[in-house]
Structure 1
Amino acid sequence: MDAAEDLETLGEKLYTLIYPKHKETAGKLTGMLLELPGPVLSQMLQDKTTLTAAVEKALRALQLAQEPGRVTCKDEDDVSVSSDSLGEQLFELVDVYNTGHSQKITGMLLEQHKDAVLKLLSDPKLLEEQVNFALNTLKEQNMEETDFSDTSDADDSERLGEKIFSLVEELRPLHANDITGMLLEMEPAALHQLLTDPTMLEAAVHKAQAALDSQNRTLSS
């Protein structure tokens, strides 16, 4: 309940600040800004420049959403709704959320079919859901990239080992275990490259087999 009450209090304070300049749209603008993270809202209340910038972004987003002719007029000239135009309009809307990843999130959303992007431009609720989903995806990716714990490293190595082994087994079934062990001493980036480049994999396997043969000859002599 405290969080809800805090949000309500923030909303009232924001509305009071927004209303003098934007009487007709103060309610909608306040609602849009309340979707932003708490710390950002607190900053807006303390810093008029931040608030003004956020209100201007929200206003532009509101205007774009209320101009379906610019976005959804497919019958007149579908070509006129270019990818660049869609991208610019979508960026304006995404940027309202102050995620710090507006460019990346816009790029992710633009990977969808044009009809789906057009729907995002005219449906604020759907856009909000997709922005949050994209933001969570980015956070997960960042966590994966920065998570250097032993367990994640062990899991990654195990998965890599399994993939490499299955490929090596096709080329050198008799020494697949030994060769895979030798290849796994390489850098992870190089191993990933082996998985996508059969020629490079074959060369690495051949080199490992030669080293193995040489080692065996030394032991038997």
Structure 2
Amino acid sequence: MDEDLETLGEQLYTRIYSEHKEAAGKLTGMLLELPGPVLSQMLQDEAMLTTAVEKALRALQLEQDPSRVTCKDEDDVSESSDSLGEQLFELVDVYNTGHSQKITGMLLEQHKEAVSKLLSDPKLLEEQVNVALQTLKEQNEETDVSDLSDADDTEKLGEKLFSLVEEMDSLHANDITGMLLEMDPAVLRQLLSNHTMLEAAVEKAQSALDTGR
């Protein structure tokens, strides 16, 4: 398996070097984090390779030029969040899951620091993409069984969420749960199984409540 990866790496490096001499090593390293079958496909599909290299190059430029993410006021903060979302979408899209938009939305529910970490840690990103994909598959299977269960499903999710949110902020549990329930059910299920993500979402809701007062 390692030898295969080495061969793929050499072939990728040769192809990338002709276009991006200085960054060829780093770009090849980033692309080698992708699954083997995807890499093989890239070597046969020039357009796919070009797109992946462009995405890796953008992520690399961001790492080398953090000033693009620094923020001075509220407008810049939202702008940097948008730009994080765009970069995350670019990287998620490389996996060709067919659900890039939804998966990116699910991952963006985390703290900005966690999202930034995903941009610079391809292994972590791959794990989270797989988890999100699994969640979406389960959600689709449930939807196929019965569309009528959606209301019941949201109610059950709401009850579970409320009990968890109440432990964190009993005073505003109703308001916060109501805000969280506006999210996609797949994201809600992820919040229930990932305490860190839930805490981040609750903090976001608390900030929104404070701003609204």
1:81 correspondence with 2:110:
no
Deviation at 1:29, TM superposition (A): 1.0
CA contact (8 A) 1:36 1:98 kept: no
Give the AA of the match of 2:127.
Answer: N
What TM-score comes out, normalization by structure 2 length? 0.59
Distance of aligned partners of 1:115 and 1:191 in 2 relative to their CA distance in 1, 3 Å threshold: closer
Stretches of 4+ moved more than 6 A in 1? none
Kept in 2: contact 1:7–1:34 (CA 8 A): yes
TM-score scaled to structure 1, two decimals? 0.57
Please give the secondary structure, in 1, of the residue aligned with 2:51.
helix
What is the alpha-carbon distance in structure 1 between the residues aligned to residue 154 and residue 31 of structure 2? 45
Q: How many aligned residue pairs are there?
A: 153
Gaps of 5+ in 2: 159-213
The equivalences for 1:8-87 within 5 A come to: 8-71=6-69, 73-74=70-71, 76-77=72-73, 79-82=75-78, 83-87=81-85
**Letter paired with 1:4:** D
Matched, 1:133 2:128: yes
Residue 103 of structure 1 deviates from its aligned partner by 1.6
Determine which structure has greater relative contact order: mean sequence separation of CA pairs < 8 Å that are 6+ residues apart, divided by chain length: 2
Q: CA deviation at 1:35?
A: 1.6
- Residues 49 and 114 of structure 1, relative CA distance in 2, 3 Å threshold: closer
Task: Identify the match of residue 110 of structure 1 among 108, 111, 115.
Answer: 108
Q: Which runs of 5+ in 1 are unaligned?
A: 148-152, 154-186, 198-221
For residue 73 of structure 2, give the secondary structure of its aligned residue in structure 1: helix
1:128 CA displacement: 3.7
Computed over aligned residues only, the root mean square deviation of the Cα atoms, in angstroms, reads 3.1
What displacement does 1:141 show? 4.2
Aligned-pair identity in percent equals 64
Q: Which residue of 2 aligns with 1:142?
A: 137
Q: How far off is 1:78 after superposition?
A: 5.0
The structure that has the greater radius of gyration is: 1
